[in-house]
Amino acid sequence: SVRTVLSDLGAKSITHWDGRKNHGCSKSIPEDTDYVLMLTTFLNHNMMKKYKKIAKKENISLVCAKRSVGSVQDEFTKVMKRA
């Protein structure tokens, strides 16, 4: 699962928001966030734009991947190497 991959890569806490509906656009990124992972297959475009902008402003690494274990692992590893 995606959660297993993230745990294997060192994630200690994972917060999930449903990106298919607009209700997720009203949430704030927690202060202790190191990475924002966006699963682009089902993501609402307005939500993606909003959190991409916030992540950049707050200097939080952004990972965009398709909703598959392999894609998440590949994209997350690329971003971790840059950090």
Instruction: Give pLDDT tens digits for 5-62.
Output: 999 988 889 988 877 666 667 788 999 999 999 988 878 888 889 899 999 999 999 9
CB atoms within 10 A of CB 76: 21
Q: Are 36 and 8 in contact (CB under 8 A)?
A: no
At 83 the pLDDT is 67
Report d(CA 4, CA 80) in Å as an integer: 17
The neighbouring-strand residues paired with 64 are: 38
Closest CA relative to residue 30, chosen from 13, 9, 49, 11: 13
Contacts of residue 34, defined as CB under 8 A and 6 or more positions apart, other chains included, come to: 60, 61
